[in-house]
Structure 1
């Protein structure tokens, strides 16, 4: 019997992929001051022009961007502190840039010393937009110096990306760390509709009693994409809410449709099922944050305001109602306007006065009722730019027009919410007026996707225009 030779196994050496080089534009650091740490083991380059722009921005009256600029500058200083000029130009390790070795590194490129080179198609820095051109030139220089390496310009500026590609830069990208979806149509809505009869697809169900609530336990595979506080309804008038879940089961609380549709806050009743479900989320004491999205005229603001008045004046749940929104940069001059902060904010929060008029339009003296409610409910109007650093306890907080905020800005605001408080975030992703934010990169989209799995958060997209038939036409056709 012959003996076969032993199998010889040669270990295959593992080679790490070559480092990529990412050149960051200023708007990336303003969008996310921690963006430097987002590129794992790769090389991050900050052009000197970016540092100069951050230095100019940090002293602006626009509190939003000036704060982000200072945070970015402080992070850069923390990374490069103690580095020699040679080390800074070669690359300094970025702490926390990767969960495993090797770490990424950061270098600063003195783009002002780039000279014209006939071999490299540099853009002119003597014309308008010279700063953009300087930053693009850094990426072009790095690409020319190492033709086989991956050099990428990262910018939120669409036109700058087009210019960079037109100049011969092979790799240009938008900053994508904060994008949690590839298609905005996939955004969680807070509800799902089952065609036909829900129970026909359930093979087994158990009934549990918890206090005064009856829960129905069904297998997780019935709704594999379900999340806490999501509503489920079918074509047979069945409606339920996912109260909790584990790895194998969903626990549903069956809702009474008649009760939902006849719930009332401060004289306001829902006009469609989505409004009714939103009101149920607001009235749930186990939910600390509710995110309401939907088109203009869908009733988001009216519902949020009505519940706040109901909870404070009829339920005694909170001691004050805080209404806040971001103001455009020109509004930073409100500090020079006469009157209180509420009076200065009036032009940007007129929508809430309009909704108070709707809630008290039938009163004998509408203006008198509104003034009385504002005082009794302790309604305070704030600019988001002046809320950071504060803490709000025993308060009902409404954040309006959140679609124009970044995930970093929303996080800094929500982290201010103190004990015994509830926050309601409102926004319409079709009305973003920030040139560096799209529906996919909006902080509101990020908040919806990141909070949907949190047991103490509820989300609801309200469809249908209830403001007027003309408003519905404008939203759908214009």
Structure 2
């Protein structure tokens, strides 16, 4: 195992569950997989948890690497040959043999065996850097406490360092919009007004980003971006605030911008982020019903979301897939009830609407391999999805399908995700320059004054 400049990375189990092919990310360095990690992957691969598939992918990747290696080569390390510039190696450490050599932890619990293995390598391989890579914060603390010199999080999938830098999907210009503009070229096209302006004052800017100001009635959306100019489509704040979808009108300008994107047939993907109670699901559902029933633009509405423990608990619930999914999709049924609370018979209305709009409740686990045509897809609670799960769903979307992804990065339930590594963050960053998508962060809680106070003060 080469010279002292090359580092040795010891991977924890959660790295391979988060990114099954992470072993290929350490190109010029050496990777060590403790035997304990393989045992934990083995236990998880047969479980009904949603990470079982990732465990199987990781195991298959390791098997493909080691299938022709001898036991001695496996413990010494074999080259990683996935890419041309990969010069590192990968080895398996038999950490169950190290119990007597390192006196860090006496018991044989999984995490402790991994820590013992890291300490053993740290002593044996000095002066080379031995780095434990884990997504478990407590494991990082324990490793430092036990004397491990280098402990890191896995960052290759991280596109930004802090979610506060995540694009909000709109820019708010100080004061009056037009008072800051020196030169403008305006034109009318098919009843729409477009303004071409200098690009510099709006940096950083992205396609379909909204532009509003503090004082006047101005609201627009970036339509084109050239090297030094941008073209903004004039939307008129007043017109946006009076748009209706299924009898819902925006309560603030942020909802107005979201509704504009949701009702625009040229936008295939709308990403809605924001606090609990900012109106993400309500606006998405209202625009889905409006465009499916009133305008006939879609044949069906598909509602799906991640059900963290679906494998373990969905089987015990009675009924079909749709009925099993209902406890998780209560947010959607609550929204439908809210939209029809003033009807003479709310229950009758809901049944009629679900049949007329062909609303289908689906589990993400059953979306693989499908091709979804002419549908309005609502993907709720996106913050709990990994980038690969989101890719699985978006790549299902065929012709005539619009997908709305909503989520709140402050409400992540997954053990393996943080706001920075959530698939929702990943999607916002990856799609910000795609002309067929719009992203909006909804400010303000409109659910109730109680919810608003709780969001700000708890």
Please give the range of the TM-score, normalised by the shorter of the 2 chains: over 0.9
SS class of match (1:46): strand
2:358 matched to which residue of 1?
A: 378
444-453 or 196-205, which moves further after superposition? 196-205
Aligned match of 1:85 in 71, 83, 88?
A: 71
Quick check: 1:288–1:457 contact (8 Å CA) kept in 2?
A: yes
Query: Once the two structures are superposed, what CA deviation does each residue of 1:173-224 show, in whole Å capped at 9, x if it has no partner?
Result: 1111222222222111111111123333333322355555432222221212
SS class of match (1:74): helix
Residue 343 (structure 1) shift: 0.9
In 2, Cα distance between equivalents of 1:214 and 1:71: 52
In 2, Cα distance between equivalents of 1:475 and 1:331: 32
Alignment of 1:34-183 (within 5 A): 34-62=21-49, 64-96=50-82, 101-117=85-101, 120-126=102-108, 130-183=109-162
- Whether 1:294 aligns to 2:300 is no
Residue 17 (structure 1) shift: 7.9
Quick check: 2:80–2:86 contact (8 Å CA) kept in 1?
A: no
What TM-score results when the alignment is normalised by the length of structure 2?
Answer: 0.95
SS class of match (2:9): strand
Q: Residues 474 and 157 from structure 1, CA distance in 2 versus in 1: closer, same or farther, beyond 3 angstroms?
A: same
Calculate the aligned-residue CA RMSD, in Å: 1.9
- Whether 1:277 aligns to 2:257 is yes
Residue 259 (structure 1) shift: 1.1
In 1, Cα distance between equivalents of 2:135 and 2:51: 15
1:397 matched to which residue of 2?
A: 377
In 2, Cα distance between equivalents of 1:216 and 1:89: 65
1:23 matched to which residue of 2?
A: 10
For these two proteins, the number of residue pairs brought into alignment is 456
Query: Once the two structures are superposed, what CA deviation does each residue of 1:388-429 show, in whole Å capped at 9, x if it has no partner?
Result: 232222111111111122222222222222221111111111
1:468 matched to which residue of 2?
A: 448
2:185 matched to which residue of 1?
A: 206
Query: Once the two structures are superposed, what CA deviation does each residue of 1:108-164 show, in whole Å capped at 9, x if it has no partner?
Result: 1111221322xx4432233xxx11111112211111112211111111111111111
Quick check: 2:16–2:54 contact (8 Å CA) kept in 1?
A: yes
455-464 or 400-409, which moves further after superposition? 400-409
Query: Once the two structures are superposed, what CA deviation does each residue of 1:67-109 show, in whole Å capped at 9, x if it has no partner?
Result: 1111111222223332333332222332345xx6343322211
1:344 matched to which residue of 2?
A: 324
SS class of match (1:347): coil
Quick check: 1:139–1:151 contact (8 Å CA) kept in 2?
A: yes
1:354 matched to which residue of 2?
A: 334
Aligned match of 1:257 in 216, 237, 240?
A: 237
Residue 42 (structure 1) shift: 1.2
In 2, Cα distance between equivalents of 1:190 and 1:28: 31
In 2, Cα distance between equivalents of 1:369 and 1:35: 50
In 2, Cα distance between equivalents of 1:123 and 1:305: 54
In 2, Cα distance between equivalents of 1:154 and 1:389: 33
Q: Residues 419 and 88 from structure 1, CA distance in 2 versus in 1: closer, same or farther, beyond 3 angstroms?
A: farther
1:438 matched to which residue of 2?
A: 418
1:3 matched to which residue of 2?
A: none
Give every structure 1 segment of 4 or more consecutive aligned residues whose post-TM-superposition deviation is greater than 6 Å.
none
2:437 matched to which residue of 1?
A: 457
2:19 matched to which residue of 1?
A: 32
- Whether 1:216 aligns to 2:195 is yes
In 1, Cα distance between equivalents of 2:322 and 2:273: 25
In 2, Cα distance between equivalents of 1:394 and 1:263: 24
In 2, Cα distance between equivalents of 1:124 and 1:330: 37
Unaligned runs of 5+ in 2: none
Query: Once the two structures are superposed, what CA deviation does each residue of 1:441-476 show, in whole Å capped at 9, x if it has no partner?
Result: 222111111211111111001111111111111111
Quick check: 2:262–2:287 contact (8 Å CA) kept in 1?
A: yes
